[in-house]
Amino acid sequence: MTLIPDRYVVMGNPIAHSKSPHIHTLFAQQTQQIMTYEAHWVAERGLFQAIKHFQEEGGRGLNITLPFKTDAWQLAQQRSSRAENAGAVNTLWFDSQGQWVGDNTDGVGLLRDITVNYQRTLADKSLLILGAGGAVRGVLGILLAQQLGRCVIANRTVEKAQLLADLFKNYGTVEAMRYEDLTGQKFDLIINGTSASLQGELPPLPPHLFSANGWAYDMMYGALPTAFMQWALQQGAARALDGLGMLVEQAAESFYLWRGVRPQTEPVMIQLRQEMRAKITQQALELAPEFGGPVGLNPVRYGDWEKAGRCIDF
């Protein structure tokens, strides 16, 4: 008797870049789950119909990526506390009554990468978060729950940072600052929640922000160190990490919510890292210099950026 695989998808626009189908296929093989996982492109304003059609066809669950996370939050008929805090939904499934249940696994993905994969405790630590957009809101609640010693959100416009600080004031004290206000301060962990790394850029940060044994974490990821990671190491950070582990861990949390089985993430992260680096090596051999310039740690032109493999899928 042939069993019909359960169907899962990720919906977004654009979606061709998504690593989620590959990640969840590896999880399914590892845990012997009978399921499929595909990427679905969704037209602007087409999310409701896409989810409804997927449900009517017998789909079991789905991930939501940019630019539809807030739309999914509005469409979910039930939401977890994580989704409520984040103001966004990246994981959906259908309950026994057919209702759409929404959760957000970004925060727990970040936390597990830092505290489980890298064994870094956050209790009593001073934390600086760069940026005040949706990516930061999605992780702020679970970070504050770690009994931080101090939490600062820095943004170009302090008013936007203050809005987040006010929103999460019941979870802990959060200070809002402009980047220039950071001069002379020290932090045990600095998390880059801006998208600047996607353009090979940095927020306008003052020097000497890391305390002794301070760490840096970029929520973006790539086969090569991001601009933020390079800056952090130059500034004396003891360690600089990118967000590949966050990507895999948030996917593992979604997989667990759907299947009740928690996959091992380390072998998947190792495989993805190897595949990204191999792709860069191959592209560097194939691409003429006039189309992209030399491959280095500071990609500044479009061809270099593509070869560096940086992308985001949270």
Binding-site members for shikimate are 18-20, 65, 90, 106, 221, 250
* Closest alpha carbon to 127 in 116, 115, 73: 115
* Closest alpha carbon to 242 in 225, 227, 230: 225
Are 240 and 218 in contact, with CB atoms under 8 Å apart?
Answer: yes
Specify whether 69 is catalytic.
yes
Q: Which residue has the tokens 């189908």?
A: 21
Q: What are the binding residues? A: 18-20, 65, 90, 106, 131-135, 155-160, 219, 221, 243, 250
Q: Which residues pair with 35 in a beta bridge?
A: 6
Q: What are the binding residues for NADP(+)? A: 131-135, 155-160, 219, 243
DSSP for residue 3: P
b or e along 147-161 (b: 16 or more beta carbons within 10 Å of the residue's beta carbon)?
ebebbbbbbeebebb
Taking only Cα atoms into account, the Rg of the chain, rounded to an integer number of angstroms, comes to: 20
b or e along 209-238 (b: 16 or more beta carbons within 10 Å of the residue's beta carbon)?
bbbeebbbbbbbbbbbbbbbbbbbeebebe
Are 231 and 255 in contact, with CB atoms under 8 Å apart?
Answer: no
Are 69 and 47 in contact, with CB atoms under 8 Å apart?
Answer: no
Cα–Cα distance, 76 to 93 (Å, whole number): 9
Are 256 and 172 in contact, with CB atoms under 8 Å apart?
Answer: no
Active-site option among 52, 69, 169, 307: 69
Q: Which two tokens mark 199? A: 């353009």
Cα–Cα distance, 130 to 229 (Å, whole number): 13
Cα–Cα distance, 241 to 215 (Å, whole number): 8
Q: Which two tokens mark 211? A: 């305390």
Cα–Cα distance, 313 to 11 (Å, whole number): 11
Cα–Cα distance, 79 to 310 (Å, whole number): 31
> What residues are annotated to the active site?
69
